[in-house]
């Protein structure tokens, strides 16, 4: 991957950035996404945020090497603290766990007033992000699932709106994605067949374990998830 050719995962994220947007890419690492989108003319201005010194230095070096310092501001800091109010209208956060992405949004809520679109790419636990979006008035407007190098990724796109609008069945939608459930692509089916198998394996182990209220609760949760996955996959 470089600033000319992104991974399919990151390119999928860039496809949802509105033309001419002012973007903050949080957890930017080498700043590949801001450099790519500015060079393509998709983005007019970008902030590349990084909390860790090494990746922050890599981002600074990359932006300088590309001569993009006038359009990309590389900043060191935790989550959304690197942006000022009204500075950007689109935020991308990619390549982290869903719980971490949700906590970055939660801690940075005060910076979201001017933001019109969130593009979030969790490596796992997209459910944490969908829950946060619902609780905070953001409506999912698109989702994508893709496989690259043997790993499955999801991209979630949200704007302020009616958070429950895309959900026909909230519990299933939170877990599996309301748009992804409808599309039911081969990658989606692959992911949830795999998850179901894994839950069934854990359930089997719990059936053999000593009975306690804790294991009973875990077993019920797993049975519920297996049932949900079966229903969606068989529809």
Report the C-alpha dihedral over residues 34, 36, 39, 43, rounded to 10 degrees: -50
Q: How far is the CB of 54 from ligand SAM (least distance, A)?
A: 8
Residue 143 contacts ligand SAM per CB under 6 A: no
Q: Select from 12, 43, 45, 49 the one that contacts ligand SAM (CB under 6 A).
A: 49
Residue 177 contacts ligand SAM per CB under 6 A: no
Return the bridge partners of 59, or none. Answer: none
Give 10 or 115: the residue with its C-beta nearer to ligand SAM: 10
Output 180-187 pairs: Cβ under 8 A, ≥24 positions apart: 180/143, 180/144, 180/145, 180/154, 181/232, 183/145, 184/232, 184/233, 184/235, 185/145, 187/145, 187/146, 187/147, 187/152
Q: Select from 14, 23, 27, 34 the one that contacts ligand SAM (CB under 6 A).
A: 27
Q: How far is the CB of 4 from ligand SAM (least distance, A)?
A: 15
Which residues from 66-85 bind ligand SAM, rule CB under 6 A?
78-79
Task: For residue 12, give the nearest of 39, 41, 36 by alpha carbon.
Answer: 36
User: What's the rounded Cα separation, in Å, for the pair 25 and 5?
Assistant: 17
Angle between helices 126-135 and 98-107 (to 10 degrees): 30
Q: Select from 18, 55, 97, 163 the one that contacts ligand SAM (CB under 6 A).
A: 55
Residue 10 contacts ligand SAM per CB under 6 A: yes
Give 49 or 166: the residue with its C-beta nearer to ligand SAM: 49
Q: How far is the CB of 129 from ligand SAM (least distance, A)?
A: 14
Which residues from 94-123 bind ligand SAM, rule CB under 6 A?
94-96, 100, 104
Q: How far is CA 29 from CA 32, 110, 133, in A?
A: 8, 24, 25
Binding site residues, ligand SAM, CB under 6 A: 10, 26-29, 49-52, 55, 78-79, 94-96, 100, 104
């Amino acid at each position: 991957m470089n600033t000319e050719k992104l991974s399919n995962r990151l390119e999928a994220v860039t496809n949802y950035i509105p033309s001419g947007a002012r973007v903050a890419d949080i957890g930017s690492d080498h700043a590949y996404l801001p450099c790519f989108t500015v060079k393509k003319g998709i983005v007019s201005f970008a902030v590349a945020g990084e909390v860790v010194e090494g990746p922050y230095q890599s981002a600074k070096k990359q932006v300088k090497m590309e001569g993009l310092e006038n359009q990309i501001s590389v900043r060191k800091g935790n989550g959304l603290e690197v942006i000022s109010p009204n500075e950007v209208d689109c935020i991308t956060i990619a390549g982290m766990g869903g719980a971490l992405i949700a906590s970055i949004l939660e801690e940075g809520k005060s910076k979201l007033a001017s933001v019109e679109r969130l593009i979030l790419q969790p490596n796992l636990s997209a459910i944490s992000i969908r829950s946060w979006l619902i609780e905070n008035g953001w409506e999912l407007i698109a989702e994508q699932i893709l496989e690259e190098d043997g790993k499955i990724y999801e991209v979630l796109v949200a704007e302020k709106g009616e958070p429950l609008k895309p959900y026909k069945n909230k519990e299933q939608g939170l877990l599996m994605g309301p748009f992804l459930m409808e599309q039911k692509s081969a990658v989606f089916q692959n992911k949830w067949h795999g998850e179901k198998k894994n839950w069934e394996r854990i359930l089997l182990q719990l059936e053999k374990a000593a009975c306690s209220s804790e294991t009973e609760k875990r077993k019920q949760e797993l049975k519920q998830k297996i049932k949900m996955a079966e229903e969606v996959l068989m529809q």
